[in-house]
Chain A
Amino acid sequence: MAEIRAEITANVWQVVVEEGQMVAEGDEICILESMKMEIPVVTEVPGVVRELHVAPEQTVQEGDLIAVIDEA
């Protein structure tokens, strides 16, 4: 299990994946919006998206859990 956490306080702009979806290393999980920029959040491990904790227009704080990936 790999946890993906927010690295910056931000608004969630888009969620790119769904729970249960397969992802490869480097795939985008969601796109945050902060500091005038779209900030892609990517997974560093391949696997299945086990949990998704964010939805569009929600705010995340630095360190908040975004997703849990079940490592392949």
Chain B
Amino acid sequence: MTGPRSREGGDVHEWGPLVGDLAQRKARALGMGGPELVERQHSLGKLTVRERLDLLLDPGTWVEYGLLADHMDPGLGDRYLAADGAVTGVGEIDGRPVAVAAYDFTVMAGSMGKVGEDKIARMRAHALRQRIPMVWLLDSAGARIQSTSGSSFAGAGALFREQVAMSGVVPMVAAMLGHCAAGTAYIPALADFVPMVKGTSSMALGGRHLVKAAVGEDVTEEEMGGSAVHTRVSGVADLEVADDAECLRVVRRYLGFFPAHNGERPPVRATTDPVDRRVEELYGIVPTAPRRAYDVRKVVAAVADDHEVFWIKPEWARNIVTGLVRIGGQPVGVLANQPMVLGGALDVNAADKAARFVWLCDAFNIPLVFLHDVPGFIVGSAVEKQGIIRHGAKMLFAISEATVPKISVVMRKSYGAGYFVMNGLAYEADYIVAWPTAEIAVMGPDGAVNIIHRKTLAAIEDDDARAQKRLELAEEIRRNIDPYVAAGHAQLDDVIDPADTRLAIARGLRISADKRVDRPPRKHGVLPV
């Protein structure tokens, strides 16, 4: 930068040139990678980092740290890298502060340089000290190999350890707004919530060129780690969004459910939707015929304030649905089995999705609501090879550990370990109610009859007679699978009219609002994963 720098002799109040020079430096930094690269960013369907910040934050709240940063790397010579490719600062979302680290793809492909990473480290420290959420806007090719290709790498990596230390203390969001590889793919993996823009974003441990060189696979970023992969197949990301603008709206909405940190309660919002609203549409949604499927998402929406649900991982492990809703203005995490997919039976991915969601809500004092309609965990050799026992154990672990208020509504089936992991009575359910259609048992009558009466049935030689006997015996078992038997043992707190489900949940939340649970001190349990 050239500018009048003479400060000796002459006028003693010659401020004009100095202030002008400062303004020029700031304007240059705000110009990012220059008009051509900004144009290219737009032509890819992406917004610039500055446009993204405008959409993410309340107007006029942005306080930037390190706008005047540059790479300071002698190896890169005279080249100017605006803000060193990483824009950092603090702004507000709905009047509440958040720390932001936003990679600028127009500056050397958003690569992670030394100065930029120092700036982001400062934001992590700030977020932790102030106990405020941290948001990453990721659009970065990963490490700046030009500067870090040697063994000075041995000292690197603190960013991930620090992120782990933040986990469960302050909310962390990583918005995927570009093709991210390696370093910038682990940041989202360690964050709580990861929305991905369809078509323009991806994440992969190795980028396209590295993959070609290392394993010989010829694959595009999109095929390898696009939103279709991570929101439907791998489960690494939480939500697919159409474009940058929707992504930033979604981040704002998500954070609206969360407290600033784990020592606070989530923010309660005023609502005009009465908690005692009768939900009579449930009669039309849920069939009383126990084997008939329906879309449980309609049930979740029906009981939520204003029918609004913020779904988490809606396209992955669809046999269980997880979403954030409000009931009486109070943020609540809902888990519900989805009879439309795999009959609502639990598999390894469903257990992972549920465990992760429970840990998320429990970390930030968001009460949990469980809507049961689960025939159990899928059985058979296929799922055993996938390790369903350890995945099921993970879900048991998460539910058992959670100390937030836990409300259970047994709508229809709730069998075996499925009943436990959906927060049965023994899992410190604060209020557990059932519909008249509820079936709670170790297993269904058709399975049980073959075990209990195996010898009786084997002794009948005639096939038709045996089938007839099997039906009769199953019917006998079925008669004992009755919510009024469970209620008779006081193992259900109440049997309710389905139309009163919203009211029952609201009551449960009120009753358990000041819940305290004491456990023996330990470093941490030994988690099944």
Contact = CB atoms under 8 A, between A and B. Distances in A.
Interface of A: 7-9, 33-40, 61-62
A69 B297 CA distance: 27
Contacts of A61: 382
Q: Which of A9, A33, A36, A62 has the most C-beta atoms of chain B within 10 angstroms of its own C-beta?
A: A36
B293 A35 contact: no
Given A7-B342, A8-B342, A36 B446 contact: yes
Interface in B327-353: 339-345
Q: Which of A9, A37, A40 has the most C-beta atoms of chain B within 10 angstroms of its own C-beta?
A: A37
Counting chain B residues whose Cβ lies within 8 A of the other chain, the interface size class is: 20 to 34
B378 to A, nearest CB: 6
A35 B375 contact: yes
B342 A35 contact: yes
B418 to A, nearest CB: 10
Nearest to A34: B343
Contacts of A34: 342-343, 345
Given A7-B342, A8-B342, A8-B345, A36 B382 contact: no
Contacts of B344: 37
Nearest to A63: B382
B382 A35 contact: no
A36 B380 contact: no
B378 A39 contact: no
Contact of A39 (B293, B444, B446): B293
Contacts, number: 46
Interface string B345-380: 100000000000000000000000000000110101
A6 B447 CA distance: 22
Q: Which of A7, A38, A61 has the most C-beta atoms of chain B within 10 angstroms of its own C-beta?
A: A38
Nearest to A10: B343
A39 B415 contact: no
A8 B293 CA distance: 15
Contacts of B446: 36
B293 A62 contact: no
12 contacts: A7-B342, A33-B291, A34-B345, A35-B345, A35-B376, A36-B290, A36-B376, A36-B413, A37-B339, A37-B344, A37-B345, A62-B382
B455 interface: no
A71 B339 CA distance: 27
B292 interface: yes
Interface in B408-433: 413, 415
A62 to B, nearest CB: 5
A33 B345 CA distance: 12
Interface string B210-232: 00000000000000000000000
Contacts of B339: 37
Nearest to B290: A36
A7 B318 CA distance: 12
Nearest to B291: A38
10 nearest CB pairs, A to B:
A37-B343, A35-B345, A35-B375, A36-B375, A36-B444, A39-B343, A38-B291, A35-B343, A62-B382, A8-B342
Contact of B291 (A9, A36, A62): A36
Given A34-B345, A35-B378, 20 more contacts: A7-B341, A8-B342, A8-B378, A9-B382, A34-B343, A35-B342, A35-B345, A36-B290, A36-B291, A36-B343, A36-B375, A37-B339, A37-B343, A37-B344, A38-B293, A38-B343, A39-B343, A40-B293, A61-B382, A62-B382
